[in-house]
Amino acid sequence: MEEDHSNPSEVSDKTLDSIAQKKHAAMIERLSNLHQSRLQQAISRKSDSNDSPSFESTKSFLDRFSETKKSIEMEIDRCRRVSESESKSSLKSDLDKVSVSISDLERQVAENSYFLPSYEVRSSLKTISDLKETLESVNYELLPKKKFSFKNKTTKKDQSNVVKNETEIRASDSVLVENCSSIKVRDSPGFHNEEGAVLVKHFGGSKEGDFTLSDLNSCEVRLTGSFRALFIHRLWDCRVYVGPVLGSILIEEVEGCLFMLASHQIRIHHAKETDFYLRVRSRPIIEDCNNVRFAPYLLSYEGIEKDLGDCSLDEETGNWANVDDFRWLRAVQSPNWCILPEEECVNAVNISNLKTPGEVS
């Protein structure tokens, strides 16, 4: 407006005017820019909220939630009523759609759970699980044949597969089990079902896997070299001398035996009247045992020092005496086990000198 109001007589006034003019224009521009950017922000916010509804207010969320819930329930009802006339295929796709909208609803709850009161979250989740249940039962009601055949088929197929697979896998291992005519389906490499025998095996490399001793009666077992894991199951009146085991040893149901074992972990279940000469890196445990006694490892054979070193078992940790009885969770000494008195310990056993298989005591 200053332009119209010109004053030709004063030059200095004019220059002043033009400065003010510039300032004014710049301010107008800044203001309009600010307005524009605000508008844009508002628009982008709006489109954001269209993508994924974020309510930030419990009431608006709950309103929307119950609306969606109602429409899902109506849809399920419709499916139920319509089922007699309509073909099965369209029914199935309808039910699938319902299932999708239920999971959409579930996602919405999850996305907004951070501001909802915990009661509302819980009740919404409950509603969703109810909806799922209803859908499941409707599914079952309307398309029962489908479900039945699915169940029947899988269980039948799986059972036959299991048996076949087991025989396949373990058949290759059965070479190790000599003199054993009937190999059970679930035998792992090891000595099984022997009586009065001396069973000897040497493990060569550190790549050796697991080994099992099961159902042995009055046998002597000598395993030299190191391997990964040892399973012992149902042994009576046996003497078992074993080189270092890198992994763990699991013993179940043994009676009247003597064991010399070295390992990372040793678990003993259901043992009776048995002596254990152990070297263990951790605490050995017993469960449901009676009259078991413990002593330090006394085994030797040619090269045992190297094998023990390879398995980090070359140092005596004293853990053979730190037995945990899972059936005796009290501070006082468990009545189920004790330390073997020194005078009753056997002498150090050197199994590299014992060369008489067939000699049974």
Partner 1 sequence: MGLLSIIRKIKRKEKEMRILMVGLDNSGKTTIVLRINGEDTSVISPTLGFNIKTINYDKYTLNIWDIGGQKTIRSYWRNYFEQTDGLVWVVDSSDVRRLDDCKMELDNLLKEERLSGATLLILANKQDIQGALTPTEIAKVLNLDAMDKTRHWKIVGCSAYTGEGLLEGFDWLVQDIASRIYVLD
Provide CB contacts within 8 A for 171, sequence distance 6+: 183
Query: Does 162 engage in binding with partner 1 (CB under 8 A)?
Result: yes
DSSP state of 273: E
Q: What is the CA radius of gyration of the chain?
A: 40
Q: Residue 228, interface with partner 1 (CB under 8 A)?
A: yes
Minimum distance of partner 1 from residue 235's CB (angstroms): 14
The one-letter amino acid at 28: I
Distance set, CA 307 to CA 64, 199, 282 (Å) = 70, 20, 18
CB of 18 to partner 1, least distance (A): 42
12 binds partner 1 (CB under 8 A): no
Residue 221 interacting with partner 1 (CB under 8 A): no
State how far the Cα of 340 lies from the Cα of 195, in Å rounded to an integer: 27
Residue 179: both structure tokens together: 């003199």
Q: Is 186 in the site for partner 1 (CB under 8 A)?
A: yes
Cα–Cα dist 55/67, whole Å: 14
89, containing H or E segment: helix 88-112
Longest dimension (CA), the chain: 138
Draw the binding track, 265-304, toward partner 1 (x: CB under 8 A; -: no contact).
x-x-x-----------xxx-x-xx----------------
Q: Is 329 in the site for partner 1 (CB under 8 A)?
A: yes
- Does residue number 312 form part of the binding site for partner 1 (CB under 8 A)? yes
Does residue number 247 form part of the binding site for partner 1 (CB under 8 A)?
A: yes
Binding residue for partner 1, selected from 229, 240, 261, 271, defined by CB under 8 A: 229
> By rule CB under 8 A, what count of residues binds partner 1?
50
Please tell me whether residue 212 binds partner 1 under the rule CB under 8 A: yes
Nearest Cα residue to 277 out of 256, 293, 255: 293
Per-state percent for the chain, helix, strand, coil, to nearest 5: 45, 25, 30
Paired strand residues for 220: 198, 239
For partner 1, which residue of 69, 80, 132, 272 counts as binding (CB under 8 A)? 132
| Residue 119 touches partner 1, criterion: CB under 8 A | no
Contacts to partner 1 by CB under 8 A: 106, 110-111, 113-115, 132, 151, 154-155, 158, 161-162, 165-166, 169-170, 173, 186-189, 207-210, 212, 214, 228-229, 231, 233, 247-248, 250, 264-265, 267, 269, 281-283, 285, 287-288, 312, 324, 326-327, 329
